[in-house]
Amino acid sequence: MKLLISNDDGIFALGVRTLANTLAEAGYDVTVVCPDTERSATGHGLTLHHPIRAELIESVFHPNVTAWSCSGTPADCVKFALSAVMETKPDFVVAGINHGPNLGTDIIYSGTVSVAMEGLLEGITSIAVSLANYTSLDFQPAANFTVNLLRQLKGQNLDNPTLFNVNVPAVKAEEITGIVITRQGLRRYIETFQKRLDPRGKSYYWLTGEVIEELDQPENSHLPKDILTDVQAIKNNAITITPLQYNLTDISTVQSLVNNSDQFTLE
C-alpha cells in the first residue's frame, strides 16, 4: 500500500520520523514531503507569490522511505507531492504525528488537518494524527495505532473518501481506555498580544493565549446527543476519531432560510 505523509512541524520533527519509520517497517511504501521548517497553525494556506524549493532528504528516515523537504506550507507539500514527486496517487494521505492536540476548533487553524484535507480534496481518504500533549515525546503509541487503523480502513468499503481526525492521549499504551468515534467539539482561547521591544527599541507584538476547556459542548442536531465530542473523550484517555468534511454549509440555517425565503427581497 502506498502512503503519502506530511506534517506542519517540519521535516526533522520526531513525530513524522516516528510515524514514517513505523509505517515503513510495517511494509508500507512511504513517501514523505514536509515543510523545511515548522509551519504550525498555517491552516490551508498556499504559496502563490514566490517560488517553492524542494530537496531530497537522506540519512534521516528508514532506508525504505523517500523523503523531501519543501519550502512551502503543509498544503503546498501535498500538492507538490501529488503533482511532482509521486508517479501514482497514494492509497492514503497521513498527516502527523503532530506535537500537540488538534481538537475542536483547533482544526480550523491546523496545518496537520490541512494536510489531510488537501488529500481529501484530491479524492484520497486521509488521516490526521496528533499526540494530544505538547511536552510528551513518546509518539510510538500513536504510530502503532496508525498502522492498525490503516489496516482496518483498507478492509472497509467506504462510500466516499473521508478525513479521519485522530487524537491520541499522551499516556502509556496500556493506559489508553479505548477508541471513541466523536464529533467536533469546542475549544476557546483567552488571547492576548504581548507588546515587546526589539534591541533597537522598536515595538512588536507576540500572540499568546491560554486554552479554555469548556464543559458545555455544542449540540449537533444531525447526530445523537450521546456521541461525545473530541474534547470530552480525550479527557478519558481515549483515542478520538472524528470524521471531517470540507463542505462548511450550515444545513439547519439553509433549511430555515429556504422555508422563509420570502423574507429576502431585492429592495
Q: Hey, how many other C-beta atoms are within 10 angstroms of the C-beta on 150?
A: 20
Predicted pLDDT of residue 221: 63
Predicted pLDDT of residue 217: 63
Rounded distance between C-alpha atoms, residue 259 and residue 253, angstroms: 10
Q: Quick check: 68 pLDDT over 60?
A: yes
Give 3-state DSSP helix, strand, coil % of the chain, rounded to 5. 30, 30, 45
Rounded to an integer, the average pLDDT of 180-184 is 95
Rounded distance between C-alpha atoms, residue 4 and residue 27, angstroms: 14
Chain length of the chain: 267
Q: Quick check: 190 pLDDT over 80?
A: no
- In the chain, where does DSSP find H-type helix? 14-25, 74-80, 106-109, 111-121, 140-154, 230-234, 251-259
Indicate the SS3 state at residue 33: strand
Rounded distance between C-alpha atoms, residue 114 and residue 66, angstroms: 22
Q: Where are the domains of the chain?
A: 2-183+225-247
Grid coordinates in use for 114?
Answer: 490541512
Rounded distance between C-alpha atoms, residue 125 and residue 93, angstroms: 7
Rounded to an integer, the average pLDDT of 26-39 is 96
Predicted pLDDT of residue 171: 94
Q: Quick check: 87 pLDDT over 80?
A: yes
Rounded distance between C-alpha atoms, residue 16 and residue 143, angstroms: 9
Question: What fold is seen in the domain 2-183+225-247?
Answer: Stationary-phase Survival Protein Sure Homolog; Chain: A, (3.40.1210)
Work out the percent of the chain whose per-residue pLDDT is above 70. Answer: 96
Whole-model pTM: value is 0.91
What distance, in Å, lies between the first and last C-alpha atoms of the chain? 58
Per-residue pLDDT tens over the stretch 209-249: 777 765 566 676 677 878 999 999 999 999 999 999 999 88
Predicted pLDDT of residue 13: 97
Per-residue pLDDT tens over the stretch 126-165: 999 999 999 999 999 999 999 999 999 987 877 789 999 9
Q: Quick check: 33 pLDDT over 70?
A: yes
Whether the CB-CB separation of 115 and 8 falls below 8 Å is answered with: yes
Predicted pLDDT of residue 267: 72
Q: Which residues pair with 202 in a beta bridge?
A: none
Predicted pLDDT of residue 76: 97
Answer with the residue of higher pLDDT: 206 or 203: 203
Lowest mean pLDDT among 37-41, 140-144, 187-191, 193-197: 187-191
